[in-house]
Structures are given as C-alpha cells and as structure tokens.
Amino acid sequence: MVVKKSQKLRCFIAILLTEEIKEKAAEIQNRLKKINADVKWVERENLHITLRFLGEIEEETVEKVKSLMEEIGKKFSSVRLIFKGIGAFPDSRRPRVIWIGGEAQMLEKIAEELEKGVRKIGLPPEKPFSFHLTLGRVRSGKNLNSLTKAMYELSDVDLGEMEANKISLMLSTLYPQGPQYSVMYEVELSGGR
C-alpha cells in the first residue's frame, strides 16, 4: 500500500493591485534603482499587499483557509486603499525592507479577522498587520546613505488610491531567480451590500 504524502504549499493571503498602482510603484523603484544600492527589488508583477503570510501549509489547511476567506467576504465590503509615503522596516536609518505606506481603514479589521481565523485553524501567530506595499529588500550596506537620502526626498510620494473588492489566496513558488506568485482562490468582499 502506498501512502500519499500530503504536499505542502507556500501560501499567503493578499490584496492584488491595479495596473495603475503597480505602474506608479515601479516608477518609484526605477528612481531608487539609479542609486545602485544592494536591493532585491520586488518584480512589478509580484507587487501586492500581504494581509497574512501562511507559510508552508498542508492541502487540507488550504481548504480551511478558503472557508475562512468565504466568511470574511460575507462580512466585509470593498475597501478604499490610499498609497502614500515611503518608509522602511525597521526604520529609515537602518532599512531592511523598503515600502510605500498608506491608509486603509477597514483593511486592518479584515487582517484581524484573518488572524483570529488562521489561529483557530492551528497556524502560529504572526506580528500585527501593518499596511505597506513592499518595494524591495536591502541586502547590504552598499550606497545605503544615498538610498536613505533618496527615500527621504520621496517621503511624501503619492501613488493615488484604488478600491480593493476581493482577497486572494496566493501560491508562492520559489525559483532561483525569485518567487513566482499565482492566484489559487479569490473571494469577493461582498458583505454589507
């Protein structure tokens, strides 16, 4: 008898961006790339807002996550996202992750509901949700002063806004040239309508 080992999938739940927001984010990346700092920039097609990273999960857990997403879709309606300002984690003087920030009142509530739900499913807790669009990850100190200066000059950058009307379960497949993301499942934010 052959016992089929359950395959683990690397997943996260995200808000996908409009082409317009991706284009404006890519323009900011291109301005910062000219500094020639050692940054691994996120590919334009991979730009997104992570609501909850799930990590390597079993296929049966994926089904539970889909059910959770359905519940959330019935509770919440579409969310207006405003993309404004540039910053870094842990901070601008020691950047590790460069991001565009912004505002999205209800997105935090959606993320909190997701967090509660995935914990009930049995996944470990994550740090609290922080609305940001990751542009790149700093790999070394090369040209770091020039990079932080350029980020300061772009600190009030405004990419505009978009309406997020669905949440997406994403599959992340790792390749030597970088991750590739594909949509596994999507749920409309149809609650309150």
9-34: b (≥16 Cβ within 10 Å) or e: bbbbbbbbbeeebbebbbebbeebee
pLDDT of residue 92: 83
The pLDDT mean for the chain works out to 93
124 prior amide bond cis, ω within 30: no
Q: Which residue has the higher pLDDT, 4 or 176?
A: 176
Residue type at position 180: Q
Give me the residue spans of the domains in the chain: 10-188
pLDDT of residue 7: 81
- Mark whether 158 is an active-site residue: no
**89 pLDDT higher than 70:** yes
The pLDDT confidence band at residue 26, using thresholds 50, 70 and 90, is very high
* pLDDT, tens digit, 9 for 90 and up, residues 35-83: 999 999 999 999 999 999 999 999 999 999 999 999 999 999 999 999 9
Residue of 46, 29, 70, 18 whose CA lies nearest to 172: 46
- Mark whether 124 is an active-site residue: no
The two three-digit tokens of residue 110, written as one number: 């959606």
SS3 24: helix
Homologous superfamily, domain 10-188:
Cyclic phosphodiesterase (3.90.1140.10)
Mean pLDDT of 6-31: 95
Residue tagged active-site, from 13, 29, 32, 48:
48
**1 pLDDT higher than 60:** no
* pLDDT, tens digit, 9 for 90 and up, residues 101-145: 999 889 999 999 999 999 999 999 998 999 999 999 999 999 999
Residue tagged active-site, from 22, 24, 52, 132:
132
Helix, strand counts (H, E) of the chain: 4, 9
90 prior amide bond cis, ω within 30: yes
pLDDT of residue 2: 55
